[in-house]
A and B are shown apart, each in its own frame.
Chain A
Amino acid sequence: DIQMTQSPSSVSASVGDRVTITCRASQGISSSLAWYQQKPGKAPNLLIYTASSLQSGVPSRFSGSGSGTDFTLTISSLQPEDFATYFCQQANRFPLTFGGGTKVEIK
């Protein structure tokens, strides 16, 4: 199985900050990576697919990059509604696997 390792596990940031979250795959997955945002008590919401494609309706301050084993989710200017937990997910092969999550907290 492909293991997905996210870092950091949590980050404290202020409104307007640039936030970067990384995700590393245990083997190459090309660009088969998605990013999700999850708020407490809610289902996850797809932000990015195929590593860098923005899902319809997602604000442009979210961006993704990377290929192979190393990937990044960037929030260019953190907004109050962005405080949440973020997960990466590899889609290269079954079983689909998720990273452990990164909680973005208010500083």
Chain B
Amino acid sequence: EVQLVESGGGLVQPGGSLRLSCGDSGFTSSTYWMTWVRQAPGKGLEWVANIKQDGSEKYYVDSVKGRFTISRDNAKKSLYLQMNSLRAEDTAVYYCATYSSNSGGLVYWGQGTLVTVSS
């Protein structure tokens, strides 16, 4: 069974940092582009970042450029999101997902991890 599991969420003060992780089991995530998507409480979905299979290409939404870094370690079957200079508006559930470069669809999703930025 394909499974993605996020971890690392929690409460952090404005200006602080947090590192999210996403581990996979049941499939070879190294063959997929990977994606972070977030959802603020009661709001819609917002794409955050994408990373190519070998990490050679990365893309970010403008609102996180220069603050967030997406990375992966295929040997550890893990995806990461380093989040610095966090703001209240970054409060959301963060999902990792596999991205199909053929179809553009986000096929497999984790259960999400909640990040709360508050003093």
Task: Tell me, in angstroms, the Cα distance from A56 to B100 when the chains sit together.
Answer: 14
Q: Which among A18-26, A44-52, A68-76 touches the partner chain? A: A44-52
Contact A98 B47 (CB under 8 A): yes
Within 73-100 of B, Cβ neighbours of A (below 8 Å) are at 95, 97, 100
CB of A21, distance to nearest CB on chain B (Å): 14
Interface size on A, residues (CB 8 A): 28
CB of B118, distance to nearest CB on chain A (Å): 21
Within 76-104 of A, Cβ neighbours of B (below 8 Å) are at 87, 89-92, 94-101
CB of A44, distance to nearest CB on chain B (Å): 6
Residues on A with C-beta less than 8 A from B106 are: 34, 36, 44, 46, 89
Given contacts A95-B47, A96-B50, A100-B44, contact A49 B111 (CB under 8 A): no
Residues on B with C-beta less than 8 A from A34 are: 103-106
Interface size on B, residues (CB 8 A): 23
B27 located at the interface, meaning its Cβ lies under 8 Å from any Cβ of chain A in the complex: no
A27 located at the interface, meaning its Cβ lies under 8 Å from any Cβ of chain B in the complex: no
| Total CB contacts across the A-B interface at under 8 A | 68
Closest partner residue, chain B, to A4 (CB atom): B44
Given contacts A32-B104, A43-B109, contact A95 B44 (CB under 8 A): no
A53 located at the interface, meaning its Cβ lies under 8 Å from any Cβ of chain B in the complex: yes
Task: Tell me, in angstroms, the Cα distance from A1 to B29 when the chains sit together.
Answer: 28
A55 located at the interface, meaning its Cβ lies under 8 Å from any Cβ of chain B in the complex: yes
Contact B104 A43 (CB under 8 A): no
Residues on B with C-beta less than 8 A from A46 are: 105-107
CB of A35, distance to nearest CB on chain B (Å): 9
B61 located at the interface, meaning its Cβ lies under 8 Å from any Cβ of chain A in the complex: yes
Task: Tell me, in angstroms, the Cα distance from A42 to B95 when the chains sit together.
Answer: 10
Contact B59 A44 (CB under 8 A): no
Contact A87 B50 (CB under 8 A): no
Interface residues of B (CB under 8 A from A): 35, 37, 44-47, 50, 59-62, 95, 97, 100, 103-107, 109-112
9 closest Cβ contacts across the A-B interface?
A: A91-B104, A49-B105, A43-B109, A49-B103, A96-B47, A94-B59, A34-B105, A98-B45, A101-B44
